[in-house]
Amino acid sequence: MSPTPLQDVSLEAAAPGTTVVVFSGEHDLASAPEVRELLDSRLQQDDLLVADFSSAQFVDSSILGVVLDTQARALELGKVFRLQLRTTDIVQRAFEIAGVFTVVEHVTTRDEALRRDTS
């Protein structure tokens, strides 16, 4: 796959039916609608969707909301949505404070992110 029209977001086709959306840089209210649209479209096409925030430097509450909504949509569709994070403390802390980790599975490595089981 190739870069998306979104700045600091790229797609990786990890396997058939699996996409990794890689976020770098900063993501906030300005990009939230496009991030939502991208993640929703990938859920329509894939069985496993990974959002990799390992290279992200900043996320705001609007992006955290998109992540939570994507998890809810994945459950509705019977798909798996997973976060990959090995990122700056500020990004990690934003996910923790918002309670995202209590709702969305999160891992630190790509191998963990791409496993096909849902445990």
Burial label, 16 (beta-carbon count in 10 A; 0-12, 13-18, 19+): exposed
Architecture field, domain 9-114: 2-Layer Sandwich (3.30)
pLDDT at 53: 96
Pairing of strands 9-15, 18-27: antiparallel
Q: Can you tell me the distance from the alpha carbon of 37 to that of 4, in angstroms, rounded to the nearest whole number?
A: 12
Query: Does residue 64 have a pLDDT over 70?
Result: yes
pLDDT at 8: 94
In the chain, pLDDT over 70 holds for what percent of residues? 92
Q: Can you tell me the distance from the alpha carbon of 66 to that of 49, in angstroms, rounded to the nearest whole number?
A: 14
Q: Which residue type sits at 7?
A: Q
Query: Does residue 117 have a pLDDT over 80?
Result: no
Query: Does residue 3 have a pLDDT over 60?
Result: no
Q: What does the pLDDT look like over 12-57, one tens digit per residue?
A: 999 999 999 999 999 999 999 999 999 999 999 999 999 999 999 9
